[in-house]
Amino acid sequence: MKRMPREGIDADTILRTLADLRGDDVQWRDGRAFSLVYHAGDDLSSFVKQAYTTYFSENALNPSAFPSLRRMEAEVVSMAADMLGGDENVVGNLTSGGTESILMAVKTAREWGRVHRRALRGGGRPKMVLPASAHPAFDKAAHYFGVRAVRVPVAKDLRACVWRMSRAVDRKTVLVVGSAPSYPHGVVDPIEDLARMAKRKGVLMHVDACIGGFMLPFVRALGRPVPPFDFSVEGVTSMSADVHKFGYAAKGASLVLHRDAEQRKHQYFATTDWSGGLYASPTMTGTRPGGAVAAAWAVMHRLGFEGYVKLAGPVMETTDRIRAGVESIEELEVLGDPTMCILGIASDTLDVYVVADHMQARGWHLDRQQFPATLHLTVNPAHVPVAGQFVDDLRESVRLSAREPADRWKERAKYAALNATLRVLPSRLVSKLTDVASRRMGLGGSDLPQQSAPMYGMMAALPNRGDLRKLVIDALDGMTTYEPGAKIPIDEEPRSS
């Protein structure tokens, strides 16, 4: 076990250690990451940091103690609602992230259903219907709240299939979901058709605009085609939009928005019986960081609508360049017709996971997706200066992948793809997973492949997805456990202060 140092260590040593530690991480500042960090330049981030630290200690849990935070939150909600086609009836809350916003939308639908769906009044399990491409946060919500999530295959263009989803809606259904756009391929689901269907069936409809909420309006303002996706569409009853993605706020800021206040009441929690007094909370968390609220409010005022449009311009031009580059490589294609700055890259002739390994060796981190096997790119302002280099490296990686003999791992594993959950695992863990997977498949230790592509193949070949899930859970367990061998080196000699 690691023991807390007996005496405190001096501040400089600790801060130096922190700075050094970052050296191991993905170099997002250099445009090497295609997810996770949304960077609009050092000037803007130091401004956002100032706003955050101004409210570093404040707690948005209790709005009566901090009326300033309450007002800022209400303004952020109102500005976003206005930007997303809402009227003054639209209400909402800031949450810690897209996942929490989605959890709240599903929880709201569940409570709403208990009141408004006759088939659920006597109990029974509420159901939601979503496209295969919708974010796993909906499955998490289903898991937490006892809602049944029914995933429906997408159409050929990778967008939600309205007629299939329509057929899945029954008397216990409380919610229909569409994404604007979907995270894996960046395509906007047919929101108008889905919302019309939901309204006709008398159920709620959530639009997950976590990644698009702070981009699609600006893409449209640039004069590019964006289909209707927000509260301007009748039948859309709730939305999620992350300020900490293309809103460039500090992490810990997303919005859940509801068509009206009546609906939002189903989101709340309140208890009146606690010895500590009355307790009410709008969202999942108790303590809420005031800094995240202040940073979200500040960045929207700093940039303004036109500031966001200005940032979106080069991002979209860079996306065009990368897309054209990908399409100029014969072995590769961009799937579907992405609306904003997210691309899914596939190949009919090559193993894209092998391509990803070659890209990784060149310092580029691409998410590996499945069903079908694709590489994921979310383009942000950090990519503007490196797009040319990226395409060159991609071309070279494809050339190297094409030259590799049809490898035996692939044969053995009957390549399919890997559970999306693995996307979130850092590469350090890949060797551990490979080890476990290999043992389960009876492969010798010396045969272990060095790269991740064969590992993905083996994982895909595990006899059932339950085994794979168990493997992932084991891995997660290992990742969050202290390992003496991986101890962070720090000078623990106490200094006089």
Ligand X SMILES: *Cc1c(COP(=O)(O)O)cnc(C)c1O
Q: How far apart are CA 411 and CA 425, in angstroms?
A: 25
Backbone φ and ψ of 367, nearest 5°: -70, 140
* Residue 179 or 267 with smaller CB distance to ligand X: 179
Q: State the nearest-atom distance from the C-beta of 256 to ligand X, in Å.
A: 11
Q: Which of 263, 252, 259 is nearest to 290 (CA)?
A: 252
Q: Which of 389, 391, 416, 386 is nearest to 332 (CA)?
A: 391
Contact residue for ligand X among 149, 176, 211, 472 (CB under 6 A): 211
Closest separation between CB of residue 418 and ligand X, Å? 19
- How far is Cα 92 from Cα 73, in angstroms, rounded to an integer? 9
Q: Does 99 bind ligand X (CB under 6 A)?
A: yes
Q: What is the C-alpha to C-alpha distance for residues 176 and 192, in angstroms, rounded to an integer?
A: 12
Residues in 348-377 that interact with ligand X by CB under 6 A: none
**Alpha-carbon gap, residue 388 to 383, rounded angstroms:** 9
Identity of the residue, 287 or 349, whose beta carbon is nearer to ligand X in the bound complex: 287
Rounded to an integer, what distance in angstroms lies between the CA atom of residue 227 and that of residue 339?
A: 9
Residue 210 contacts ligand X per CB under 6 A: yes
| Contact mark string toward ligand X, 127..156, x via CB under 6 A | --------x-x-------------------
What is the closest distance, in whole angstroms, from the C-beta atom of residue 98 to ligand X in the complex? 2
Among 97, 126, 338, 449, binds ligand X (CB under 6 A): 97
Out of 183, 246, 390, 409, the residue judged to bind ligand X by CB under 6 A: 183
**Residue 181's closest CA among 119, 232, 133?**
133
Site for ligand X in 392-411 (CB under 6 A): none
Residue among 40 and 462 whose Cβ is closer to ligand X: 40
Q: Does 208 contact ligand X by CB under 6 A?
A: yes
| Closest approach of ligand X to the CB of residue 48, in Å | 16
Q: Which stretch binds ligand X (CB under 6 A): 94-102, 114-122, 433-441, 481-489?
A: 94-102
Question: Which is closer to ligand X, CB of 117 or CB of 244?
Answer: 244
Q: Sign of torsion, CA 487 482 56 99?
A: positive
CB of 240 to ligand X, least distance (A): 7
Q: Which of 58, 189, 242, 367 binds ligand X (CB under 6 A)?
A: 242
CB-wise, 254 or 347, nearer to ligand X?
Answer: 254
The phi, psi pair for 154, rounded to 5°, reads: -85, 165
Closest listed residue to residue 245, CA positions, set 320, 290, 180, 195:
180
CB of 428 to ligand X, least distance (A): 21
For the bound state, the minimum distance from the C-beta of residue 12 to ligand X, rounded and expressed in Å, comes to 33
Closer CB to ligand X, 237 or 240, in the complex: 240
Q: What is the 3-state secondary structure (H, E, C) of 160-196?
A: CCHHHHHHHCCCCEEEEEEECCCCCCCCCCCHHHHHH
| Single-letter residue type at 311 | L
The strand pairing partners of 326, in sequence order, are none
Query: Do 210 and 242 form a contact (C-beta atoms < 8 A)?
Result: yes
From the list 108, 179, 451, 452, which residue makes contact with ligand X (rule: CB under 6 A)?
Answer: 179
Shortest distance (Å) from residue 102 CB to ligand X? 6
Cβ-closest position to ligand X: 98
Least gap, CB of 135 to ligand X (angstroms): 3
CA distances from 128 to 95, 123, 140, 143, 276 (A): 22, 16, 13, 12, 36
Kindly tell me which of 92 and 457 has the beta carbon lying closer to ligand X.
92
Q: Supply the minimum distance, in Å, between the C-beta of residue 386 and ligand X.
A: 22
With binding defined as CB under 6 A, does residue 254 bind ligand X?
yes
Instruction: State the Cα–Cα distance between residues 188 and 157, nearest whole angstrom.
Output: 10
Q: Pick from 31, 86, 92, 98 the residue near ligand X by CB under 6 A.
A: 98
CB of 95 to ligand X, least distance (A): 9
User: Site size for ligand X, by CB under 6 A?
Assistant: 13
Cβ-proximal residues to 361 (8 Å cutoff; 6+ apart), any chain: none
Which tokens is 497 given? 């202060």
User: Using CB under 6 A as the criterion, which residues of the chain lie in contact with ligand X when the complex forms?
Assistant: 97-99, 102, 135, 137, 179, 183, 208, 210-211, 242, 254
